[in-house]
Structure 1
Amino acid sequence: MIWLTWRQLRPTLITAAVLLGVAAVYFVITGEHIRHTYSSDLSTCRSNCAQVLDNFAGSYQNLRALIQLVVHAVPALIGIFWGAPLIAAEFERGTHRMAWNQSVTPTRWLAFKLAGGALASAVAAGVLSLLFTWWAGPQDKIDASPFDWNVFGTRDITPVGYALFAFALGALLGLLTRRGVLTAMALTVAVYVGVQVVVATQIRPHIMPTQTMSVSVDAQLLSHPVDTTITGSASGPTVTFKVKAPAGSWKLSQTPVVDGSGAKLPMSAVQNCIEGPVQSQSDLANCLAPYNPHVGVRYDPASDFWPLQWYETGIYVALAGVLAGLCFWRIRGHRD
């Protein structure tokens, strides 16, 4: 049975190995160049290091974004082209009967197919993620938060969990649709994307206990334009304070500006200050000081990154296990 499973998966596995080999060569060659450039820029810059590093990151920004899309897509492609046809194609061709009529039980047949495909899926996604995480490391240090959705899901170990889930999902949908390979492929894409959105937006922010902090809207805060903005609108002046969470953390939400009593800062107070003799953001802070304005920020600290990686990967691996269990439960009902 192991030999038969290998023969069936061999073309796909060889193709995947070749593609991973090409990717590895590309990542190693270009990654070494990127790291050399990064080290050189750091060693030669003087007072303008921030601008030099921004230029360095910007030169690779589009390429990194493109590769991120590819890494995002790989688990879905595994579910579509490895998982969905795994069983559905066998039923379409009727080749499952050959194994079942040779003293191989459907459960054993399914176990070997799922184990082989799951191992290949985990290795492919893991190797690609490892290569890309190393390649993008110098750029990520400059302009990427590890909690950004397009970073968190394409680095380190989460792609392995995504790949296992997508593979098991495709296998189950292929088993349910039986001879409908294309239907299973389409359903795999729809369900996988839906689960990804739900987990990223509704589950991930609540996995770890969050922390809160109160940030005073004072002259020190307003002296950093990157942290705050003052905009205008058709209905009049509007002040928006974009307060940053601690470095490396994941900002989840921010309260409106409130006064010392905890009530929302009245817009009339802001308008009076803006329309008055305010020449700078520092003047604005001094004008608002009697109200004791401050903003509440809820965030996950930087130390939560790896626990979140493990928890989310565990969620997807558990889901993959449940889907595999449903495959075994469903296969017992097939007799042809």
Structure 2
Amino acid sequence: MIWLTWRQFRTQAVVALAALAALATYLVILGYQMRNAYATDIVGCQPADCVSARRDFADAYEVQVALIGALLIGVPALIGAFWGAPLITRELEERTDRLVWNQSITRVRWLAVKLALLILISMAVTGLYSLLLTWSASRYDELVGDRFGALAFASRNIAPIGYAAFAFLLGTVIGLLVRRTLPAMALTLVLFAVIQVFMPIALRQHLMTPVTSTVQLDEEAIERADFMGFDQNGARLDGYTMPGAWSLTSTSRVFNADGTPYTTEQTEQCRQSDRQTAMACTARQNLHFSYTYQPADRYWRFQWIELSAFLGLALLLTGFGLWRIRTYSS
């Protein structure tokens, strides 16, 4: 049974290995390029030049890292559509199901062997790709520090392995229910894309209870914000991000030490022509703001939670598929 499964799958396996080899070559070259640039331009840079050096480094590799990360996010979807969806529909459309399901091997065992082998291959291919990308982009991730970002989180470390297993089982079960290859492939791609969008936008941040704390508005906090402005309700701070954390607050209200809003009138004493002097003056006013976030040290817990969740969903789909095929009638 394993031999038969391999014979049916060998073309896809060869294509996947060739693509992985090409990607591995590119990622190794890109990784060494970023390491050399990091060692030359970032390590030991003069304080006056570090900001521009970091910006130039990020600009030079941002597009490449984003594209290769987006491609990795697409790999589980392709596995589900091109490996999972045709697994059963191919037999149904070619009418070979009447032959293979009436042998000494039961249809449940037939499907179980196929699923076991192909899930392992799917997870291995995606895991190797993720490992290579994680290594290659490590210097970029260290500099940019956006590990919780939707694209970065879903294309690094162990979470993509769970996506691959789930996507493959999703395609297989949809194919078993729809019975036609092309509709099953299309539906798999759509459903998996919806889940991948829904997860970071609506669900991931609630996997663990966020932390809300009061942050002192010092010079470092001002530097880590995108903008500080005023409206009718007082001062606001936009885009502040704690180092390594996942920021769940986009705009924060700024308050005085006694809890009253920090107003435009209070900024008069800090209106300086020099930005650094103005920042230092603002920092001395003992201001603070509320900030909600997921701490940096929770990153691996989120990775394990998401991996476990998608592997759990894959197991449920496996159970449903084995039950469905046992009661299946052509």
Structure 1 length-normalised TM: 0.86
Q: Which runs of 5+ in 1 are unaligned?
A: none
**Contact residue 228 and residue 240 of structure 1 kept, 8 A:** no
Identify the match of residue 256 of structure 1 among 248, 253, 256.
253
Kindly indicate whether the alpha-carbon contact (under 8 Å) linking 1:212 and 1:296 is maintained by their aligned counterparts in 2: yes
1:279 aligns with 2:271: yes
Shift of 1:67: 0.8
Please give the per-residue CA displacement for 1:263-298, whole angstroms capped at 9, x wherever unaligned.
7x3xxx624446x565245598489x5xx7532111
Is contact 1:215–1:243 with CA below 8 Å preserved after alignment? no
**2:126 paired with 1:125:** yes
SS of aligned partner of 2:327: coil
Q: 2: CA distance between counterparts of 1:151 and 1:296?
A: 26
Closer/same/farther in 2, CA of residues 191 and 237 from structure 1, 3 Å limit = same
For 1:314, the equivalent position in structure 2 comes to 308
| C-alpha displacement of 1:4 | 0.9
Please list, as runs of the form range in 1=range in 2, the aligned pairs for 1:160-199 lying within 5 A after superposition. 160-178=161-179, 180-199=180-199
1:284-315 CA distances to partner (integer Å, 9 max, x unpaired)?
A: 8489x5xx753211111111011110010110
- Unpaired segments of 5 or more residues in structure 2? 273-277
The one-character-per-residue Cα deviations of 1:121-154 (angstroms, maximum 9, x if unpaired) are: 1011101101111111111111131111111000
Equivalent position of 1:304 in the other structure: 298
The amino acid that maps onto 2:90 is A
Could you say which residue in structure 2 is the equivalent of 1:270?
263
| CA distance 1:50–1:228, shift in 2 (3 Å) | closer
Distance 1:260 1:34, change over 3 A: closer
Number of matched pairs: 323
In 2, Cα distance between equivalents of 1:29 and 1:43: 20
Q: Secondary structure at the match of 1:172?
A: helix
Other-structure match for 2:41: 41
| Correspondence 1:109 to 2:110 | yes
Output the CA distance in 1 between the equivalents of 2:22 and 2:304.
29
Q: Are residue 15 (structure 1) and residue 15 (structure 2) matched? A: yes
Query: Structure 1: how far apart are the matches of 2:59 and 2:67?
Result: 14
Q: CA RMSD in A?
A: 2.6
Correspondence 1:49-60 to 2 at 5 A: 49-60=50-61
- Paired amino acid for 1:256: R
Q: Give the Cα separation in 1 of the matches to 2:14 and 2:61.
A: 31
Aligned partners of 2:313 and 2:283: how far apart in 1? 54
Change (3 A) 1:42 1:227: closer
Change over 3 Å in CA distance of 1:90–1:142 after alignment to 2: same
CA contact (8 A) 2:108 2:325 kept: yes
Alignment correspondent of 2:238 = 242
Amino acid at match of 1:199: M
TM-score using structure 2 length: 0.88
Question: In the alignment, residue 37 of structure 2 is paired with which amino acid?
Answer: T
